[in-house]
């Protein structure tokens, strides 16, 4: 079955959506991601949507759900790379993605994830200099 | 010269197909990237409504010309249960299903012309147009 | 008027004379704009026009100017009218080019058919109709030419009036000047968002110091821009809100709550620096 690959990078999960997603594929991604967050004990999820042509209400809702679910599982979600045309259209459509963090690109998204990693957790790796 | 294309809309795969065909025609008609995105998004919303609430149907995508202007017209038609209260269905956030309730109201904002024809038991027909 | 017009034959036979008379008409007329077009250029244009005119007449007759044989003439007339529109000729000055051809043609048939009033009036009528058609066509082209000029100027102004400038690493500024209508605001919005992506900027300052009035529609566009930028992961600050604008906005029910606003560009820059983690300090003496 068709699946969107989820990459692991340290305590973060990386998803880059490169295909024109149909609704079932989006639902599968949502399920896979929550499974992986628990399995990998991930602290952050980064979703790159820079090659997505549109974000309609269904995809918008999926992004919101992923953010809420991962927050419940102690992981932050950042959506990165939204194209201007997509953003303009979403505003017109009435979608605001409340509760979802956004960043311009993967690099800035990673910065946000690093910043939000909770302090005081027993971690073996050294904190980045802020 | 007008161009016509009829697409079956029965599953979520068909929604993707509608998006791709609409995109091809929007590019052909010379719409800007932002306009293309608006039209494809509206098509996606309406096609999904046809599948989820209308029990499937078909879409007609056509290039239209009027008064020297070029436009893209999308018609979505189903033989589903129809809509009892159109005014209510057009409101932001109103949904009988699990959606966000932005399909109808949102796609009206994305297009220049919006027309809905529906009655209980009679199915639903939505016609939207965006001019270049 | 079923009788065939002799005009094509006449024009061919007397082309030189017609040209001379026509040039005299055009040059005598006050409307020759020596400041915009030289006599040599006008002569060239006229000679070429008359030649195409004769060819079209011979091929297709004077009944209509819509046929294939008139294509070349219509094209050259279009070029002449549009170039005059661009150069700044007035409508009547442009129309005179074609209408001044009536006089020499009238004189010609008058001399030719002095003895036959019936033919004379028929030919005069043919010329009248023909030149009028060409004249109307000229005006239509002239008008189109003017519209193109206006459209180009609008585009140029739009480009000039949306200068997105990078003021620091990750900080953009968009100083808006002049009246914002819905179309312009939309262009501004798109180019700002595009620039945010290209420069990977975290903060964009939209300065409206130079905007005399903000109505509900423009305010809505500004709010939409800010929302779209936020969706992409950038923040906007609106600065330069003058007291009168703040008053009107609140009266209109637009409060810009949820959006960072500053009274002056300086305040906006200060808060943008803070957002990207920069601090401005005065050098110690």
**Tens-digit pLDDT profile for residues B68-103:** 889 999 999 999 998 888 888 888 888 877 677 788
**CB–CB of C228 and A88 under 8 A?**
yes
User: Per-domain residue ranges for chain A?
Assistant: 6-116
Q: What distance in Å separates residue A55's CA from the closest CA in chain B?
A: 7
Touching partners of B (3+ C-beta pairs < 8 Å) = A
Q: Given an 8 Å threshold on Cβ–Cβ distance, is B110 in contact with A92?
A: yes
CA angle C78, C82, C88 (to 5 degrees): 150
Q: Which helix (H) or strand (E) holds A16?
A: strand A12-16
- Mutate which: B18, B36, B37, B45, vs A, most A CBs within 10 A: B37
Domain boundaries, chain B: 3-131
Instruction: Considering only residues A79 and C2, tell me which one the structure prediction assigns the higher pLDDT.
Output: A79
pLDDT category at C112 given cuts 50, 70, 90 is: confident
Q: Which comes out higher in pLDDT, residue C177 or A7?
A: A7
Q: How confident is the model at residue C3 (pLDDT cuts 50, 70, 90)?
A: low
Highest mean pLDDT pick, A41-45, C92-96, C182-186, C242-246 = A41-45
**What mean pLDDT do residues C113-132 have?**
90
What does the domain layout of chain C look like in residue ranges? 7-158, 165-275
DSSP for C171-230 reads: EEEEEEES---HHHHHHHHHHHHHHHHHHT-SEEEEEEEE-S---HHHHHHHHHHHHHHH
Q: Is B125 exposed, middle or buried (0-12, 13-18, 19+ CB in 10 A)?
A: middle
Interface test with A, best of C200, C233, C235, C258 (most A CBs within 10 A): C233
Q: Does domain C7-158 have CATH number 3.20.20.210?
A: no
pLDDT tens-place string over residues A49-75: 999 999 999 999 999 999 999 999 999
* Beta carbons of A57 and B106 less than 8 Å apart: yes
C230 dihedral zone (left: phi>0; alpha: psi -120 to 50; beta): alpha
What pLDDT score does C2 carry?
Answer: 43
pLDDT (mean) for C119-123: 89
Nearest to C18 by CA among C87, C88, C101, C95: C101
Does A85 sit within 8 Å of B109, measured CB to CB? no
State the nearest Cα–Cα gap between A121 and chain B, in angstroms. Answer: 37
Query: Does residue A123 register a pLDDT over 60?
Result: no
Does the structure show a pLDDT above 80 at B105? yes
- Chains with at least 3 CB pairs less than 8 angstroms from chain A: B, C
pLDDT of residue C159: 67
Query: Given this structure, which CATH class describes domain C165-275?
Result: alpha beta
- Dist CA C224 CA C186 (whole Å): 10
Question: Can you say how many angstroms the Cα of residue A111 is from the centroid of all Cα atoms in its chain?
Answer: 14
Q: What's the CA gap between B95 and B85, in Å, rounded?
A: 12
pLDDT number for residue C216: 83
* pLDDT for res A47: 97
Q: Do the Cβ atoms of A87 and C196 come within 8 Å?
A: no
* Residue of A47, A52, A88 to mutate when probing chain C, most C C-beta within 10 A: A88
C7-158 and C165-275 have identical folds? no
pLDDT at C1: 42
pLDDT digits (tens, 9 = 90+) for A73-121: 999 999 999 999 999 999 999 998 888 999 999 999 999 999 877 555 5
Question: Does residue C10 carry a pLDDT above 60?
Answer: yes
Q: Pick C32 or C131 by higher pLDDT.
A: C131
pLDDT score for C31: 57
In the prediction, which pLDDT does A1 show? Answer: 64
Contact A87 C224 (CB under 8 A): no
> Do the chains contact at A104 and C232, CB–CB below 8 Å?
yes
Q: What is the CATH number of domain A6-116?
A: 3.30.750.24
Rg (CA), chain A: 14
Give tens-digit pLDDT for C197-242: 999 999 999 999 988 888 888 888 888 999 999 999 999 999 999 8
ipTM reported for the complex, 2 dp: 0.89
pLDDT tops 70 at residue A130: no
**Is residue A47 packed enough to be buried (19+ CB in 10 Å), middle (13-18) or exposed (0-12)?**
buried
For C69-80, how does the pLDDT look when each residue is reduced to its tens digit (9 = 90+)?
888 889 989 998
Do β-strands C171-177 and C203-210 pair in parallel, antiparallel, or remain unpaired?
Answer: parallel
What CATH architecture applies to the domain B3-131? 2-Layer Sandwich (3.30)
- Closest Cα of chain A to C127: distance in Å? 57
């Amino acid at each position: 079955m068709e699946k969107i690959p989820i990459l692991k990078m340290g305590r973060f999960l990386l998803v880059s959506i490169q295909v024109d997603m149909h609704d079932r594929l989006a639902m599968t991604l949502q399920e896979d991601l929550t499974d992986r967050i628990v399995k990998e004990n991930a602290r952050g999820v980064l979703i790159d949507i820079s090659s997505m042509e549109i974000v309609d209400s269904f995809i918008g809702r999926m992004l919101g759900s992923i953010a809420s679910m991962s927050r419940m599982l102690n992981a932050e979600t950042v959506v990165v790379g939204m194209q201007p045309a997509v953003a303009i259209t979403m505003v017109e459509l009435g979608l605001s993605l409340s509760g979802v963090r956004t960043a311009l690109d993967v690099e800035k998204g990673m910065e946000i994830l690093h910043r939000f990693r909770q302090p005081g957790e027993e971690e073996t790796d050294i904190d980045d200099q802020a | 010269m007008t161009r016509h294309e009829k697409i079956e809309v029965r599953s979520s795969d068909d929604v993707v197909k509608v998006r791709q065909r609409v995109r091809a025609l929007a590019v052909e008609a010379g719409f800007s990237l932002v306009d293309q995105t608006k039209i494809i998004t509206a098509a996606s919303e309406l096609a999904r409504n046809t599948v989820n609430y209308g029990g499937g149907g078909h879409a007609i995508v056509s290039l239209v010309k009027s008064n020297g202007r070029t436009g893209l017209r999308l018609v979505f038609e189903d033989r589903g249960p129809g809509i009892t209260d159109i005014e209510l269905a057009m409101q932001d956030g109103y949904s009988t299903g699990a959606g966000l309730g932005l399909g109808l109201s949102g796609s009206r904002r994305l297009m220049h012309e919006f027309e809905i024809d529906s009655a209980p038991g009679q199915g639903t027909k939505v016609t939207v147009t965006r001019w270049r | 008027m079923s009788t065939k017009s002799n005009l094509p034959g006449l024009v061919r036979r007397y082309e030189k004379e017609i040209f001379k008379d026509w040039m005299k008409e055009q040059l005598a007329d006050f409307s020759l704009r020596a400041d915009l077009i030289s006599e040599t250029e006008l002569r060239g244009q006229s000679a070429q026009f008359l030649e195409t005119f004769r060819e079209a007449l011979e091929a297709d007759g004077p009944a209509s100017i819509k046929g294939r044989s008139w294509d070349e003439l219509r094209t050259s007339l279009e070029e002449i009218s549009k170039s005059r529109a661009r150069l700044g000729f007035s409508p009547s000055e442009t129309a005179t080019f074609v209408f001044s051809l009536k006089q020499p043609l009238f004189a010609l048939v008058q001399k030719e058919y002095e003895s036959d009033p019936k033919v004379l009036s028929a030919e005069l009528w043919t010329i009248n109709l023909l030149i009028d058609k060409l004249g109307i066509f000229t005006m239509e082209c002239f008008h189109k030419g003017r519209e193109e000029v206006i459209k180009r100027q609008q585009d140029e102004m739009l480009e000039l009036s949306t200068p997105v400038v990078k003021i620091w690493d990750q900080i953009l500024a968009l100083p808006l000047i002049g009246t914002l209508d819905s179309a312009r605001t939309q262009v501004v919005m798109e180019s700002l968002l595009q620039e945010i992506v290209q420069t990977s900027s975290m903060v964009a300052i939209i300065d409206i110091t130079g905007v005399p009035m903000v109505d509900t529609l423009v305010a809505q566009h500004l709010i939409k821009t800010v929302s779209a930028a936020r969706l992409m992961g950038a923040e906007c600050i609106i600065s330069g809100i003058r007291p009168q604008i703040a008053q009107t906005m609140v009266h209109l029910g637009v409060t810009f709550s949820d959006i960072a606003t500053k009274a002056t560009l300086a305040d906006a820059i200060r808060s943008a620096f803070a957002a990207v983690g920069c601090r401005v300090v005065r050098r110690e003496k």
